[in-house]
Structure 1
Amino acid sequence: MPQSKPKLLSGGNPQIPKGYGDAPVQAYIAAMPGWKSAVGGRIDAIVEKAVPGVRKAVKWNSPFYGMEDDLWFLSFHVFARYVKVAFFRGASLEPVPPVASKSGDTRYFHIHEDDAFDEALFADWVRQASRLPGEKM
């Protein structure tokens, strides 16, 4: 029986069942619409290379990355016009990611379709974030 494609929620965010490990994250990335799927794949590859042994999960229809289960340093989420990357201890990163959050420590990095994406800076943020205490979720 052919498997149906995941439902896309508002803004095109894929609805993927909660799960731990690489498989649910890859299912999420594959279901990201259009250009966003390539961005999700790049984010995932950069995190894997920068943080060997990183833990992965999909929770609340978003991929999460951490050093141990349920302690997370990064997640991303699809919106209509961009992919939003959340660094949960982003206020402690150098330089601080550009978009502020209502919650004190979290900082965001938005990736739009035609944005230049500084992968070296992003990988540096990922390495820094992975060394900070994770956010329990």
Structure 2
Amino acid sequence: MTKTANSKIANVTSKRPTKYDATRTRVSAKMEGEKEEKGQAVADQPKLLSGGNPQIAKGYGDAPVQAYIAAMPGWKSAVGRHLDQLIMRAVPEAQKAVKWNSPLYGMEADVWFLGIHCFAKYIKVAFFNGASLSPPPPVESKMENARYFHIHEKEEIDEAQFSDWVKQASQLPGERM
């Protein structure tokens, strides 16, 4: 060891512990434990992006879509589950994926007819070729062909109309993404 290292060790070992040091050590250990507990809880839950949209890793199939739905905050999770059931009942052969933190539904690989996205006060269902649906979903888009259906808390979904839109959308050309 060098002389500097020896003097540092000597300085550390020569200091007598005080009552203050013991209290500070207990408080520091408690705070570290709380940070670990909070960190673990946060690590187990997907991060919510702006507006409360869950951040879910890109993936294909049902599992990432179900992870997204489970991570949707509050009332949106139950509505997301219901939407997924309606979509799969209307078009059982639909393929699923999560891309750009949104569940997507399509009829062929990487060609999607519908996407779901969480916002602070509503869920947006995007029909990528929605302008061709009859009747078109109510919310216009800046994109020429897209139309949206917004679902707010405690709002009833017209299941027959929604299912009809899904069936129509699945038969139209999808959006390659």
Fold shared by both chains (TM-score > 0.5): yes
Q: Which residue of 2 aligns with 1:37?
A: 77
**Which runs of structure 1 show a deviation greater than 6 angstroms over 4 or more consecutive aligned residues?**
none
What does residue 11 of structure 1 align with? 51
Query: In structure 2, what residue type is equivalent to 1:123?
Result: S
State how 1:1-137 maps to structure 2 within 5 Å: 4-137=44-177
Deviations 1:53-76 (A, max 9, x none): 110000000000000111000001
Work out the CA distance in 2 between the residues paired with 1:80 and 1:134: 27
Measured after TM superposition, the shift of residue 117 of structure 1 is 1.0
Measured against aligned partners, the alpha-carbon deviations of 1:23-60 in whole angstroms (never above 9, x if no partner) come to 00000000000000011101100111100111000000
Name the Cα RMSD after superposition: 1.2
TM-superposed deviation, 1:116: 1.9
Runs (5+) with no aligned partner, structure 1: none
Point out where structure 2 has 5 or more consecutive residues left out of the alignment.
1-39
**Residue type matched to 2:69 in 1?**
I
> What whole-Å deviation, never above 9, does each CA across 1:52-105 have from its counterpart, x for those lacking one?
111000000000000011100000100000000000000000111000000000
Higher relative contact order (CA 8 A, sep 6+): 1
TM-score by length of 2: 0.75
Q: Indicate the structure with greater helix content.
A: 2
Aligned length: 137
* Structure with the bigger percentage of strand: 1
Distance 1:131 1:75 in 2: 15
Fraction of identical pairs, as percent: 69
Aligned equivalents of 2:151, 2:130: Cα separation in 1: 16
Question: What is the SS of the residue equivalent to 1:6?
Answer: coil
